[in-house]
Amino acid sequence: MRASYAITSSRRQVGIINAWSAAEAVIEYLRSRGFGDRDIVRLGTSSASWRGAVFTATRLDPDES
């Protein structure tokens, strides 16, 4: 089931993405910003790095999105 995920960088929320998983959400967010796969490094099941900046996806409750 698809869910809404908040994408954060540091302490700032930078977007909301609908995806099947947190991993998909963070990668899709970065790709939507035009960042290439060569520059994206997966750090775990819910985070990835782009040129040193770390982005994390956190699932939102249905009433938060």
DSSP 13-64: EEEEEEESSHHHHHHHHHHHTT--GGGEEE-SSSEEEETTEEEEEEEPPTTT
Give the residue extent of every domain in the chain.
3-59
Band of residue 65 on the pLDDT scale cut at 50, 70, 90: low
pLDDT digits (tens, 9 = 90+) for 13-26: 999 999 999 999 99
Q: What six digits make up the tokens of 65?
A: 């999105």
pLDDT digits (tens, 9 = 90+) for 14-59: 999 999 999 999 999 999 999 999 999 999 999 999 999 999 999 9
The pTM is what? 0.87
Residue type, 42: R
Q: For residues 7 and 28, is the Cβ–Cβ distance under 8 A?
A: no
